[in-house]
Structure 1
Amino acid sequence: MPAQRYSYTAITLHWLIALLLAFQIALGWALEGNNSPELFARYQLHKSVGITILLLTLARLAVRLFVSRPPASDGPAWTRTLASVVHWLFYLVMILGPITGWLLVSTARVEVQTLLYGVIPWPHMPVGRSWHEPAESIHGAMAWLAIGLFALHIAGALRHQWLLGKPELQRMVPFARGKAVGAAIGALALVGGAFAAGDSIYPDKKQAAAQQRSAAPATPGAAATPSAVPAANEEAPETDAAEEAVVEDTKQPLADWTVASGGRLGFTARWNGEAIDGRFSRWRAAIRFSPDELAGSTIRVTVDLASADTGDGQRDDSLKSSDFFDVGAHPNAIFSARDIRHLGGDRYEARGTLDLRGASKPATLRFTLQIDGDRARVSGTARIDRTAFGVGQGEWAATDAIAAGVDIAFSFTATRPAS
């Protein structure tokens, strides 16, 4: 006897693919707008879902070839032909759509590693940039074809079920062996829910962030935020007279300080008003310093730009690319300062230059310093203008999406040889 229902494996794969495809179509519509963290996250999810659809479709094809299935429905030749064409076009969409998307990622100008759902690495195709435009055209065509096929497939199933009275839905709807009205309504609701989820996931926070920025009061101490290019006539504040009355024999000589492990060098960029925090896990500092010999004190910090970590592997790979840090050509950023000034109390300022991405610009950082014997605790901040160093090329050069100002924050402990 021929099978009257599809196997549970076929049913499960059918509905998984259907829901993912509905979600993917709606998510594709949401891949528009200004660059933002939400848009970036949508793209990464879109890639992951696409590869999932590809793998599930290959599994579904294997089941179709090797597992028995119900016979085709009776009817005029044209309806059977149309049903067969729709099914095979669906397979074309579910295979060619993800493959062309894979080609787009593999040939993109900015190379971003694909991590399926942020966990599983997925390789790029070894193809040239000439594949990009054809893949883009085909990928878009597959999306529109999928929408048309969805409409035809649903209309055909409902036609067989209610107009012709044939139990088509019972063969594919899970656990439906009698009347499938309730199950069909539930299935349509699931598909509609998948569309809605794809359209609404990662809502764009740009407008809310802009309103928050406009309503936010001035940040206390904002005037003390260091600038990448300090004013030429800026002078260090005068210190208290008591601080200047230092007995000569208690002055601390210049010493080379060793930075202890566990220090932090972080940065904060703003993407459509939303703060994106990161840090550099590899950096080193050569510090020769004495609060009593500032004229001879020097600071040199070398940062391994490839160690940038924002908590998102794909975004971190983007930072390493030629559009941002270009670590292949410029692996390190170097801050050097010889002009160190006392601002009063435990506050200091270091003026120097920052070499980043092949550009050298004036930069200033301010820090607090507490020395206890031969151990010091240091924390400070700086702000740089990324556009002055060319960090952000092409579409990323504009400051409407990613702000020009990037805040730097650091803290560490250091020791000097015992005196």
Structure 2
Amino acid sequence: MPTQRYSYTAITLHWLIALLLAFQIALGWALEGNNSPELFARYQLHKSIGITILLLSLGRLAIRLFAQRPPASDGPVWTRTLASVVHWLFYAVMILGPITGWLVVSTARIQVPTVLYGLIPWPHLPVGRGLHEPAETIHGAMAWLAIGLFALHIAGALRHQWLLGKPELQRMIPFARGKAAGAAIGALALVLAAFLAGGMVYPDAERTAVRNSTALPVPALATPAPPAASATKEDESATAETPDAAPADTGQPLADWTVASGGRLGFTARWNGEAVNGRFDRWRAAIRFSPDELARSQIRVTVDLASADTGDGQRDDSLKGSDFFDTGAHPSAVFTARDVRHLGGDRYEARGTLDLRGVGKPATVRFTLRIDGDRARVAGTARIDRTAFGVGQGEWAATDAIAASVDIAFSFTATRPAS
């Protein structure tokens, strides 16, 4: 006798895909607004769920083609034809929707890597950018088509169950072998809940984890650098205001200092007003310095831009791309200072040039210095204008989403040869 009920595998895939589709459609409509860490995370979730739907749908199609299933319901030709069309259009939505989304991501001007659920890297399709707009149009149309198909599919199932008295729902709804009213209401409630969840989901936990894991403590004794590269009149008079202040550890000869491991070089950008903190894991400094020989002191810091770490792999890969650091063409940033000034007490200022992304601009770093024998503790800050160096191209050049000012904070210890 022919089977009267779908297999448990087919039932599981049917409802899992239905819930994911409802969630995905609502999530897709919520991908609006200004660029922000939250919106970025939602896009990553949207891509992850899309690929999940694609893989599950391919499995469901294989079962549909090769596994035994209940016979189609009898009835007029037009109803059977409509039911068949709805089913096959659903497969088109479930497969073509994710594929066109994949094409949109693969052909986007800004190439953002896809990492499924933050764990599994997913490649881009090797296609030209000419497919971007057609794929985007089709991808958007798939959402509306899915909604129409949902309505037709539900209406058809309810018609068979209660108007025609055929136990259709018992074949696909789990635990609905008897009266199907309760199971039908529960299934519809689940789909509606998935849709509402997709419109309201905010990956706060991911954002908070990034913020907390990369928070940069700004040294309390470090004076914040001014927004402009050059010093203000107040800065220039700082030494005059404290004429009797003695430099730290006077009477020391010029020496080459070696930076000890464990130092930190971090940065803070603001994305729609929200701080995004990161750090550079690889950097080195050549320091020739003495509080008594400031005129001859020199500082050179080289930063490996590819080592930028904000706690989010996709964002870090974007920073390496041509729209931001362009590490393929400009792997390093270099700050060189030969004008070191004493601001009083243990406060100093180093004026020099920052070379970033092939552009050299004046930059000022302020720091505190405490020397104990042959060991020094340094902590400082700076502020740069990313737009002056071309960091942020295209849509990222505007400062309405990502602020122009980027704060730098650093701290390290260094040693000199024993005198």
Q: Is residue 158 of structure 2 the alignment partner of residue 155 of structure 1?
A: no
Q: CA deviation at 1:245?
A: 11
Q: Please, what is the CA RMSD of the aligned residues? A: 1.9
For the 8 Å contact 1:337–1:353, the answer to whether it is kept is yes
Q: Is 2:22 the counterpart of 1:19? A: no
Q: 1:208 matched to which residue of 2?
A: none
Rate the CA distance shift 1:222–1:396 in 2: closer, same or farther, 3 A.
farther
Q: 2: distance between equivalents of 1:163 and 1:245? A: 91
- 2:377, 2:226 → 1: CA distance? 20
Q: Does 1:241 align with 2:255?
A: no
Partner of 1:30: 30
Aligned to 1:115: 115
Residue 105 of structure 1 pairs with residue 108 of structure 2 = no
Map of 2:209 onto structure 1: none
Question: What is aligned with 2:79?
Answer: 79
**1:269-288 mapped onto 2 (5 Å cutoff):** 269-288=269-288
How has the CA–CA distance of structure 1 residues 109 and 178 changed in structure 2, closer, same or farther, with 3 Å as cutoff?
same
Amino acid at match of 1:297: S
Q: How far apart are residue 316 of structure 1 and its match?
A: 0.9
Cα contact 1:51–1:98 (8 A) shared by 2:
yes
Q: Secondary structure at the match of 2:285?
A: strand
Task: Return the alpha-carbon distance in structure 1 between the equivalents of residues 154 and 246 of structure 2.
Answer: 83
SS in 1 for 2:72: coil
Contact 1:111-1:317 within 8 A present in 2 as well: no
The answer as to whether partners of 1:228 and 1:382 remain within 8 angstroms in 2 is no
Could you tell me whether the CA contact under 8 Å between 2:269 and 2:405 is conserved in 1? yes
Q: Distance in 2 between matches of 1:223 and 1:340?
A: 15
> Counterpart in 2 of 1:89?
89
Give the C-alpha shift of residue 277 in structure 1: 0.7
Report if the CA contact (8 A) 2:337-2:353 is conserved. yes
Report how far residue 241 of structure 1 moved.
Answer: 2.0
Identity %, equivalent residues: 84
Note closer, same or farther for the CA distance 1:222–1:256 as it changes in structure 2 (3 Å cut). closer
Distance verdict in 2 for CA 1:260–1:203, change over 3 Å: closer
Q: Identify the residue that residue 62 of structure 2 maps to in structure 1.
A: 62
8 Å Cα contact 1:226/1:366 also seen in 2: no
The equivalent of 2:215 in structure 1 is none
Structure-1 separation of matches of 2:412 and 2:390: 29
Q: Which residue number in structure 1 is paired with residue 412 of structure 2?
A: 412
Q: Secondary structure at the match of 2:246?
A: helix
- The number of equivalent residue pairs is 401
Give the aligned partner of residue 176 of structure 2. Answer: 176
Unpaired runs of 5+ residues, structure 2, are: 205-219
Secondary structure of 2:239 counterpart: coil
Q: Which amino acid aligns with 1:199?
A: G
Aligned residues of 2:298 and 2:337 also touching (Cα < 8 A): yes
SS in 2 for 1:241: coil
Aligned counterparts of 1:32 and 1:109: Cα–Cα separation in 2: 18
2:134 maps to 1:134 = yes
Cα distance, 1:228 vs structure 2: 3.8
CA distance in 1, matches of 2:222, 2:253: 34
Q: TM-score, normalised by structure 1?
A: 0.92
Q: Is the alpha carbon distance of 1:418 and 1:203 closer, same or farther for their aligned partners in structure 2, counting shifts above 3 Å? A: closer
Are 2:248 and 2:291, in contact at CA under 8 Å, matched by a contact in 1?
no
Hey, what's the Cα distance between the residues in 1 that align with 2:266 and 2:11? 50
Q: CA deviation at 1:223?
A: 7.8
Q: 3-state DSSP class of the match of 1:110?
A: coil
Where does residue 341 of structure 1 map in the other structure? 341
Shift of 1:18: 0.3
Aligned to 2:216: none
Structure 2 equivalent of residue 397 of structure 1: 397
Tell me the distance in 1 between the aligned counterparts of 2:271 and 2:248. Answer: 48
User: How far apart are the structure 2 equivalents of 1:333 and 1:189?
Assistant: 55
1:218-244 residue CA offsets vs partner (Å, 9 max, x unmatched): xx9998443342246441333352627
Q: Which amino acid aligns with 2:239?
A: P
Whichever residue aligns with residue 246 of structure 2, its letter is E
* Long gaps (5+) in structure 1: 205-219
> For 1:225 and 1:68, how far apart are their aligned partners in 2?
72
